[in-house]
Structure 1
Amino acid sequence: MTQTRAPRADAVRNRKKILAAARAQITERGPDAGMDEIAAAAGVAVGTLYRHFPTKTDLVAAVIAEFMDQVAADAEAARDRVTAGAPALDEINAFLGRVIEASATNHAVKAAAHALGADTGAGADQRRAEAALATLIHQAQADGDVHPDVTVDDIYLLFNTAPTDQPQATRTRWLTLTLPGLTTSARTTDG
C-alpha cells in the first residue's frame, strides 16, 4: 500500500505565487503572456513553473478552476448566511456584485482560456455554486422577494451578459438597472 505525501510547504507557496502571477500577467497582457514572464513575476525559476504546469493551457485552466472554487465558496457562504437568517434577496444582490467584479478582474484570463481551449474541470465547483444559488433563489421566492420564474440559469445569464470589460462605474450601473428584473416588486407575472 502506497501512501501519498502531502505537498511540501514551499511547493504549495510556489503554486500560489505562480497562479497569482499568471492571473496578473494574463490580465495585463492577455493570452500572449509568456511562461518566462509569469515565472519571473512569481519569483520562481521557469523549471518550477513547468513542474507545476507543463503547458500554458494547464496554467490558465488552473487559474480559472481557482476562480470557480472561489465563486462556489462565496455562494455557499451566502447560502449559510441565509440559513442563519440573513435576507435572501440581499445575499443574491451582494453575491452578483462580487462575482461580476471578480469576473471583470479575470476577464482576460477567461478570454485566454477560451483562446487556448483550456478545460477548466470546474464541473464540481459549478455544481456547488448552482446548488447554493438554488437555495438562495428558493428562499427569496419563499420570502416573496424574487419572481417565481427566476432560476439559476437566469443568474448565469446575468453573469454572461455583464459588461465585465467596462469600468467599475458602468458595471455598478448595469447591476442597478438589471437586478430589479429578478424581483417581484419590479415586474408583473406577465413578465
Structure 2
Amino acid sequence: MPLDRPMRADAVRNRRKILDAAQEQISEHGPDVGMDEIAKAAGVAVGTLYRHFPTKTDLLAAVISEYVAEVADDAEASLARAHDGATAVDEVVGFLDRVVESSAHAHAIKAAAKSLGVEGHGDQSDEARAGAALADLIALGQQVGDIRPEVTVDDFYLLMATTPTDQPAQVRRRWLALVLPGITTQA
C-alpha cells in the first residue's frame, strides 16, 4: 500500500475541522487546552485527532504552517494588486495591517507553540514566498518614491517582532500609525 496516497475526502474534512477547532480553542482557552477538548470542538473522536496529529506539538506546527501559508498568500495577492494598478505603498500598509491583526488573533497559538518548543513548521517555502512577494512589493513602492529607500524585508520582520499582539485593537492601530512614518515617505 503506497504511503503517499491522497487523503480521502472525509479525512480532509476531519483534518480541516481539527485545525479550525485547535486554532479556536487555543485562542479562547490558552495553551493548556486539552486534545480532548479540541477533538470535541471539532466534532471528531479523539482517535481521529491523534491519527492526524500524534502530539499537540504536531497539531500546533500544522496550525502555524497554515498561518504562514495564509500570510504568503496575502503578500502575493498584495503584489498582484500592485501590478494591476493599486499603489504599492497602500498594499504594503494594508498587508502590514492585516498581518498585525492576524498575528493578534494567533497570539495564543504562538504562545502555546513556544511553550511546547515548536520551533517552526518544517517547510520554509511559504516563508520564502512571503518574503519574495514582500521584497517585490517594497521595491515597487521604492521605485515611485513612496517607500523609504533603506527599507528591507528584514525591517518588516523586525517590526513584526515588536507588534503589540497581546494588546487591544486601538493599541495595535496606534502602533501601526507610529511605525508607518519610518517605512513610507508620505506624511
* TM-score category (smaller protein): over 0.9
Counterpart mapping for 1:59-138 below 5 A: 59-118=59-118, 119-138=120-139
SS in structure 2 at match of 1:36: helix
Which deviations, in whole Å up to 9, do the C-alpha atoms of 1:151-186 show, x marking residues without a partner?
001111111111110111111111112111111245
TM-score, normalised relative to structure 1: 0.93
TM-score, normalised relative to structure 2: 0.95
SS in structure 2 at match of 1:135: helix
**Distance in 1 (alpha carbons) for counterparts of 2:125 and 2:2:** 27
Q: CA deviation at 1:81?
A: 0.8
Q: 1:37: which partner in 2?
A: 37
Q: 1:165: which partner in 2?
A: 166
SS in structure 2 at match of 1:31: coil
Which letter does structure 2 place at the counterpart of 1:87?
A: T
| Unpaired segments ≥5 residues, structure 2 | none
Report if aligned partners of 1:36, 1:46 keep a CA contact under 8 Å in 2: yes
Distance 1:170 1:151, change over 3 A: same
CA RMSD of aligned residues (A): 1.5
Which deviations, in whole Å up to 9, do the C-alpha atoms of 1:61-103 show, x marking residues without a partner?
0000000000000000001111112100000000000011000
Q: 1:145: which partner in 2?
A: 146
**Distance in 2 (alpha carbons) for counterparts of 1:134 and 1:28:** 34
SS in structure 1 at match of 2:31: helix
Check if 1:183 corresponds to 2:184. Answer: yes
**Distance in 2 (alpha carbons) for counterparts of 1:22 and 1:3:** 26
Identity of aligned residues (%): 63
Distance 1:35 1:174, change over 3 A: same
| Unpaired segments ≥5 residues, structure 1 | 187-191
**Distance in 1 (alpha carbons) for counterparts of 2:66 and 2:135:** 22
Give the count of matched residue pairs: 186
Q: CA deviation at 1:8?
A: 1.1
**Off by >6 Å, runs of 4+ in structure 1:** none
